[in-house]
Structure 1
Amino acid sequence: MSEPRDSLFEAPPLADQERMVEAILFATADPMTPTQLAGRLPHGCDPVTALAAVRRRYAGRGVHLVRVGEAWAFRTAPDLGFLMRHEVVETRKLSRAAIETLAIVAYHQPATRAEIEEIRGVGVSRGTLDQLIELGWVRLGQRRMSPGRPVTFIVTQGFLDHFGLETARDLPGLKELRAAGLLDSRTVPGTEEEPVETQDDLFERSPDGAG
């Protein structure tokens, strides 16, 4: 049992901080950053250290503490994903234009509209980008320090979470996608290897059925 603290301004023991972080993450629907956790924890707590301790404690268990961008969340262990296959969410395919645009943003971010159009070889409609932004997979990035100060587009934490990635650098390479059966013989925009393209089901898994 934890020893009583001498002062209200003294940080709780690390074991208590771990329990607090664990409780918060189990109760929240969205991943949380250390800064967000610090805003809920008592004064003096170290959420980064507590997160590391919780992650070690859950290693090898049915749920893991995983990093999603700059945030953290509990997720089912990858090898137990088959137990969660019973789903009632109806999904529809994204348009080919949306799939190509999303792929370009993911692999070339931050990317401007002009860069996306240059890679695709055709114009990008405002509706395509609006759809990806509404879906929560793409957001506006910083403006480029170039003539016109064009806005850039980057993938969101929601995109990373949906595909089980820590960062965009964890996106699979072409060889991995081909080995997993996620590539066919068409062209993927902006790649440097032989012409191939992701099948629609790589980016069609829209959580809210947008398409």
Structure 2
Amino acid sequence: MVEAILFAATRPLTVAELAARMPEGCDPTEALAGLRRTYAGRGVVLERIGEGHAFRTAPDLSFLMQAETVETRRLSRAATETLAIIAYHQPVTRTEIEEVRGVAVSRGTLDQLIEMGWVRMGRRRMSPGRPATFVVTEVFLDHFGLESARDLPGLAELRAAGLLESRPPAEGLGLPLAGGPGDDDMEPDDPAPVPQELFDDE
């Protein structure tokens, strides 16, 4: 009875909890000692955990239970837009990102992208204030199966994949931010501008 109860339990059970589930007059203490001897050296062992008792995988076989898991993290709309702007306009400053989005970029948004390893700090602009720039990383390229930022899909490819509506982008946001004064000291090979449709509401 003790073996059956512990096998089905979702947490360690105390002697009192075991006794409460068994017929009146039963004392599970001796049964626990017997089970501990029976399972010694087996793949499953009876362990005492605090005041409770539970079946667990034998410590020397724990490596068999290890498995890699993929953590799914959903990007916010702000993070998605910021990432797209960096990918298509790199190297790009925070001010330039805000000019494209039309709203301020929170520090937390950039911190999240950097923490994920998709964005890193680039060289500083040779302009007043020496603003920092942001570029995508090799981790970002590897995640999306890209050899370089030049392989990012263009407007026609995004439409063909059904990711964009079949209408022209709004005027004023089709020009790349890179290429201005001081860009000679930046990362080379600036990609094409980010399509406006990436920021349209669904």
TM-score normalised per structure 2: 0.50
**Letter in structure 1 aligned against 2:197:** V
1:178 Cα deviation after fit: 1.3
Matched-pair contact (CA < 8 Å) for 1:185–1:195: no
Q: Which residue of 1 aligns with 2:143?
A: 162
- The letter for the 2-side match of 1:98 is A
Q: How much is the aligned-residue C-alpha RMSD, in angstroms? A: 3.0
For residues 37-186 of structure 1, the aligned pairs below 5 Å read: 89-184=70-165
CA distance in 2, matches of 1:113, 1:183: 26
Q: Deviations over 1:36-72 (max 9, x none)?
A: xxxxxxxxxxxxxxxxxxxxxxxxxxxxxxxxxxxxx
TM-aligned CA distance change 1:195 to 1:128, over 3 Å: closer
Instruction: Report sequence identity in percent.
Output: 73
Q: Deviations over 1:166-198 (max 9, x none)?
A: 110110101101111222489799446985226
Give the whole-Å Cα distance in 2 for the aligned partners of 1:131 and 1:116.
Answer: 16
Inter-partner Cα distance in structure 1 for 2:146 and 2:131: 28
1:194/1:138 CA distance change after superposition, 3 Å? closer
**Alpha-carbon distance, 1:160 to partner:** 0.5
Once the two structures are superposed, residues 9-45 of structure 1 have per-residue CA deviations (whole angstroms, 9 ceiling, x without a partner) of: xxxxxxxxxxxxxxxxxxxxxxxxxxxxxxxxxxxxx
Checking the alignment, whether the CA contact within 8 Å between 1:105 and 1:111 is kept in structure 2 is yes
Consecutive unaligned residues in structure 2, runs of 5 or more: 1-67, 176-193
- 1:164, 1:100 → 2: CA distance? 19
Amino acid at match of 2:149: A
Letter in 2 for 1:159: F
Change (3 A) 1:194 1:124: closer
Residue ranges of structure 1 left out of the alignment (5+ in a row):
1-86, 201-211
Question: Following TM superposition, by how much is the alpha carbon of 1:91 offset from its aligned partner in structure 2, in angstroms?
Answer: 1.8
When Rg is computed on C-alpha atoms for both structures, the one with the higher figure is: 2
Tell me the number of residue pairs that the alignment of Structure 1 and Structure 2 aligns: 114
- Report the CA distance shift for 1:194/1:169 in structure 2 as closer, same or farther (over 3 A): closer
Secondary structure class of the residue paired with 1:153: strand
